[in-house]
């Protein structure tokens, strides 16, 4: 089955700096890669996703890149703000609507 | 509220007791997932349904766990003879199979289980 590894487990940045979270996956059949943000005590919520036919996707201060050959994808947050502080999970899913496998999470702290 | 609804939100039980959680998905979503999340970890897949059919069940799920979705709407997750290791947040999610949000998991607030 799919195995998703995520690094780093914790990340502290100064407000206004950029943050990068990296993930690798094992199943070459995976073609959908979502990122979820989970604030303390809240449910995970989708912030951005990318499909395998696209190498990069951007939404305001958030961008995701995908390298299918290397089986890794990354989340980039620019101009970080205190409200970006949360746990971020990457995930991968093979074709169709099979199970989504999550990484172990990155706790991001943005220091004002 | 048209989001995914889970209840109870919190359940404290003694070891050996049975517990049942309910999930009401977003009405037009025909796929429903159960995940388990422990502190500091990502959601761990348990099982999922396409309408009333249970399509996959994690090998991590022992025989003490059972899930149903009898009419393809709400789902229940039952844990029999609970153990302290079952203490976790149980998350339900639903997803549409078409349209703009196809494949996106919409999570409920979760049901937190504490086994004493």
Per-residue pLDDT tens over the stretch A76-88: 999 999 999 999 9
Burial of A45 (0-12, 13-18, 19+ CB in 10 A): middle
Q: Which of A46, A99, A103 sits opposite B104 (nearest CB)?
A: A46
C-alpha separations of B84 from A67, A68, B73, B87, B95 in Å: 41, 40, 30, 6, 31
- The pair of structure tokens assigned to A39 is 């604030």
A24 and A83 in contact (C-beta within 8 Å)? no
Average pLDDT over residues B33-42: 93
For residue A97, what pLDDT band results from cuts at 50, 70 and 90? low
- Chain A nearest CA to B27, separation (Å): 18
Burial class (CB in 10 A: 0-12, 13-18, 19+), B71: exposed
**Does B8 sit behind a cis peptide bond, omega within 30 degrees of 0 on the bond before it?**
yes
Q: Which residues in chain B touch residue A101, judged by CB atoms under 8 angstroms apart?
A: 45
pLDDT band for position A96 (cuts 50, 70, 90): low
Which region holds residue A105: left if phi is over 0, alpha if psi is between -120 and 50, else beta? left
CA B115/CA B59 separation, integer angstroms: 22
The answer to whether the CB of B67 falls within 8 A of the CB of B76 is yes
Average pLDDT, chain A: 94
A99 touches chain B (CB under 8 A): yes
* Residue entry with tokens 């609970």: B82
Pairing of strands A10-14, A106-111: parallel
Q: How far is B55 from chain A, CA to nearest CA, in Å?
A: 9
Q: What per-residue confidence (pLDDT) applies to A53?
A: 85
pLDDT at residue A56 is higher than 60: yes
Both tokens of residue B80? Answer: 């029999």
Number of residues assigned to chain A? 112
pLDDT of residue B101: 72
Over residues B94-103, the mean pLDDT reads: 79
Chain A residues whose CB is inside 8 A of the B107 CB are: 43-45
- Decide if A57 contacts A73 (C-beta within 8 A): no
Cα B87 from chain centroid (whole Å): 14
**Which residue among B42, B56, B95 sits closest to A102, beta carbon to beta carbon?**
B42
Q: How far apart are CA B45 and CA A86, in angstroms?
A: 21
> B43, A49: Cβ pair inside 8 Å?
no
User: At residue B60, does pLDDT exceed 80?
Assistant: no
Reported as a pLDDT band with limits 50, 70 and 90, residue A38 is very high
Q: How many helices (H) and strands (E) does chain B have?
A: 0, 11
Distance of alpha carbon B74 from the chain centroid: 10
User: Rounded to an integer, what is the distance from CA B59 to the centroid of its chain?
Assistant: 15
């Amino acid at each position: 089955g799919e195995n998703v590894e995520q690094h780093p487990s914790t990340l502290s940045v100064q407000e206004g700096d950029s943050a990068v979270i990296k993930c690798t996956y094992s199943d070459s059949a995976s073609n959908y890669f979502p990122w979820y943000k989970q604030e303390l005590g809240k449910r995970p919520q989708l912030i951005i996703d990318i499909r395998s036919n696209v190498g990069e996707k951007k939404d305001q201060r958030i961008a995701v890149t995908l390298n299918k050959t290397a089986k890794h994808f990354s989340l980039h947050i620019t101009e970080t703000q205190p409200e970006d502080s949360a746990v971020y999970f990457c995930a991968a899913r093979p074709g169709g609507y099979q199970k989504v496998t999550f990484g172990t999470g990155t706790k991001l702290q943005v220091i004002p | 509220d048209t989001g995914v609804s889970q209840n109870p939100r919190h359940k404290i039980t003694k070891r050996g007791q049975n517990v049942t959680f309910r999930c009401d998905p977003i009405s037009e979503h025909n796929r429903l997932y159960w995940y388990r999340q422990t502190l500091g970890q990502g959601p761990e897949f348990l099982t999922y349904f396409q309408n009333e059919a249970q399509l996959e069940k994690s090998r991590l799920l022992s025989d003490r766990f059972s899930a149903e979705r009898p009419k393809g709407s709400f789902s229940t997750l039952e844990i029999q003879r609970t153990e302290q290791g079952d203490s976790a947040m149980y998350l339900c999610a639903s997803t549409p199979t078409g349209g703009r949000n196809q494949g996106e998991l919409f999570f409920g607030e979760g049901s937190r289980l504490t086994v004493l």
